[in-house]
């Protein structure tokens, strides 16, 4: 039987979101874990697991780890374990490893990628930057970016130690320096309560979600401070609403419920200017931006942000052919040039 998916009104978008997570925006992350705190080993693995459970691999456009660029711990386990959590998590959960950078060995690559992603940002395609380590690498990337684009970046922190360590202990930069560059900065409640030190029995449910989540449990268990994955609380906060009512009081129990179904009933940033209608049947699709008679473009990407299809939007209409592509989740981006309208949708084939 042909599979048809229709977007017509805000209501139908909400119905579609019952099986596709509707987060809008790109995500960057920065963590240390190569010195001082071992909790990043668990938090990095858990953050990637949460994002993957919600189908947001394509939204993650940057991840720098080992961001304590002033040197690794004298304990060789630190750089080894943060590398395994970051790259092992990328492999297991289907992230694009070309977007992952080790701060101590590829600082220029990390900074250049942050710059690139900020310069690609807009009001319709913002960047959310979760900072789970010192401010230095994020500051360097933001400082290198176009000053006019920094307003579309929202940095998120939960740790006063992370905010101040670079400046206080290494003569670098802090959260105030990031604000001074013109980026938005959100300080949420310290997540060491609900996601911090606790018995591993509180994380045992991860082992029942499959081998990759069992691996995540093991990464948390490896942390020297038992059961600590505190930085992952920022990912939970962002995906539960962020500045629009995100939960700052997350717990392992709440997270278990949040991850129970990989596709919650949630939709964000539904179109406010026009109604977008998308129909797909057997890989052939039609796009209509109702009430719009201008030109634009339609692009479709896979979850690794590889462009699979590009076509023109004429008189508010376009068609596309995705035959030959496997069933799965794709990203449909519609840009209406005359109205400076841009919207991203999750497309299921």
pLDDT tens readout for residues 270-324: 334 467 788 888 888 899 888 888 888 888 887 666 788 889 999 989 999 988 8
Cβ neighbours of residue 159 under 8 Å, at least 6 residues apart?
A: 132, 190, 230, 231
Q: Is the pLDDT at 9 greater than 50, yes or no?
A: no
Task: Supply φ then ψ for residue 93, to 5 degrees.
Answer: -105, 10
- CA dihedral sign, ordered 116, 120, 122, 128: negative
Determine the Cα–Cα distance for residues 133 and 72; give it in Å rounded to an integer: 13
Mean pLDDT value of segment 32-52 = 96
Report the predicted TM-score, pTM, of the whole model to 2 decimal places.
0.73
> Which residue bears the tokens 């059961």?
227
- Over residues 236-268, the pLDDT tens digits come to 999 999 988 899 999 999 999 999 866 432 333
Tokens representing residue 290 in the block: 């109702």
- CA dihedral sign, ordered 28, 153, 233, 259: negative
- Over residues 166-202, the pLDDT tens digits come to 999 999 999 999 999 999 999 999 999 999 999 999 9
Least confident segment among 41-50, 83-92, 237-246 = 237-246
For residues 6 and 29, which has the higher predicted lDDT (pLDDT)? 29
Q: Is the pLDDT at 18 greater than 50, yes or no?
A: no
Q: What is the mean pLDDT of the chain?
A: 86
- Domains, in order of start, for the chain: 4-18+266-348 (2.60.40.3080), 26-258 (no CATH)
Determine the Cα–Cα distance for residues 34 and 41; give it in Å rounded to an integer: 9
- CA dihedral sign, ordered 235, 241, 242, 245: negative
- pLDDT (0 to 100) of residue 303: 64
Residue 340 CB coordination number (10 Å): 11
């Amino acid at each position: 039987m042909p599979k048809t998916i229709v977007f017509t009104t805000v209501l139908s978008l909400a119905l579609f979101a019952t099986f596709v997570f509707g987060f809008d925006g790109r995500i960057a992350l920065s963590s240390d874990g190569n010195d001082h705190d071992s909790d990043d080993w668990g938090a990095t693995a858990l953050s990637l697991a949460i994002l993957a459970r919600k189908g947001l691999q394509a939204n993650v456009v940057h991840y720098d780890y080992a961001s304590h660029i002033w040197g690794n711990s004298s304990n060789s386990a630190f750089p080894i374990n943060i590398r395994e959590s970051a790259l092992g998590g990328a492999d297991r959960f289907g992230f694009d490893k070309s977007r992952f950078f080790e701060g101590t060995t590829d600082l220029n690559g990390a900074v250049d990628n942050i710059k690139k992603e900020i310069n690609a940002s807009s009001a319709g395609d913002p960047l959310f930057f979760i900072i789970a380590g010192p401010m230095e690498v994020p500051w360097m990337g933001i400082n290198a970016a176009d000053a006019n684009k920094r307003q579309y970046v929202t940095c998120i922190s939960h740790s006063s130690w992370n905010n101040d360590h670079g400046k206080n202990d290494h003569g670098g930069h802090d959260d105030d320096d990031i604000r001074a560059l013109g980026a938005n900065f959100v300080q949420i409640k310290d997540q060491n309560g609900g996601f911090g030190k606790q018995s591993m029995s509180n994380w045992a449910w991860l082992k029942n979600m499959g081998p990759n989540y069992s691996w995540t449990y093991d990464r948390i268990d490896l942390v020297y401070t038992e059961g600590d994955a505190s930085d992952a609380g920022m990912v939970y906060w962002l995906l539960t609403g962020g500045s629009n009512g995100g939960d700052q009081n997350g717990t392992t129990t709440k997270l278990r419920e949040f991850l129970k179904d990989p596709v919650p009933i949630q939709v964000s940033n539904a179109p406010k200017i026009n109604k977008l209608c998308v129909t797909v049947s057997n890989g052939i699709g039609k796009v209509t931006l109702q009430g719009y008679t201008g030109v634009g473009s339609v692009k479709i990407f896979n979850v690794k942000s590889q462009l699979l299809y590009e076509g023109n939007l004429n008189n508010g209409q376009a068609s596309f052919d995705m035959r030959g592509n496997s069933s799965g989740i794709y990203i449909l981006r519609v840009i209406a040039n005359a109205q400076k309208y841009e919207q991203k949708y999750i497309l299921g084939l």
